[in-house]
Amino acid sequence: MTLNLCVLTPNRMIWDSEVKEIILSTNSGQIGVLPNHAPIATAVDIGLLRIRRNGQWLTVALMGGFARISNNEITILGNDAEISTDIDPQEAKQTLEIAEANLSRAEGKRQAIESNLALRRARTRVEAVNVISY
């Protein structure tokens, strides 16, 4: 019994295949999903999505969204998603530094919200590249 995982972003489908297990970062913590999970709908936080397939773990940097799990079908709608192998480590680090600089320069509530979001996203991308796969 395998799970079918579908990761969608506004401009294309990032992932559509069968998986054994996933670990999802939600607003209320990380949840692991195995086959025959109870149906739930949850908001997804900006963080890593780890996928186990054929005994190997893959990492996807997910920029927030929504996930629905029912009947062994997982549908994740993300604002943006990048598979860790598609991320360039140097570029991710640079983006993180720029985001940190922007946050320290932010004035006002609005800029603070924006730069916070950008920082979290950049951090997730760097984490996705650095994660050890076991």
Partner 1 sequence: MSSSHLSMLSSPKFSDLDSLSSRSFLSGLCLPAGAAASPRPSPSSTGVVHCGLRELRTRIDSVKNTQKITEAMKLVAAAKVRRAQQAVVSGRPFSETLVEVLYNINEQLQTDDIDVPLTSARIADIKSLGLDFVVLSVGKKGNSFFQRRPHIPVDRFLELGGLPTTKDAQAIADDVFSLFVSEEVDKVELLYTKFVSLVKSDPVIHTLLPLSPKGEICDINGVCVDAADDELFRLTTKEGKLTVERESFRTPTPAFSPILQFEQDPVQILDALLPLYLNSQILRALQESLASELAARMSAMSSATDNAIELKKSLSTVYNRQRQAKITGEILEIVAGAEALV
Distance CA 84, CA 122 (A): 13
Q: Does 105 bind partner 1 (CB under 8 A)?
A: no
Closest CB to partner 1 among residues 22, 56: 22
Give yes or no for a contact between 71 and 55, defined as CB atoms under 8 angstroms apart: no
Distance CA 17, CA 113 (A): 35
Smallest gap, in angstroms, from Cβ of residue 25 to partner 1?
12
Q: Does 28 bind partner 1 (CB under 8 A)?
A: yes
Q: Does 11 bind partner 1 (CB under 8 A)?
A: yes
By CB under 8 A, what part of segment 44-103 binds partner 1?
Answer: 44, 63-66, 68, 70-71, 75, 77-80
Sequence letter at residue 43: A
Q: State the number of CA atoms in the 13 A half-sphere of 101 facing the CB.
A: 6
Smallest gap, in angstroms, from Cβ of residue 133 to partner 1?
25
Least Cα distance to 25 among 73, 70, 81, 92 occurs for: 81
Interaction site with partner 1 (CB under 8 A): 6, 8-13, 26-28, 31, 38-44, 63-66, 68, 70-71, 75, 77-80, 109-111, 113-114, 117-118
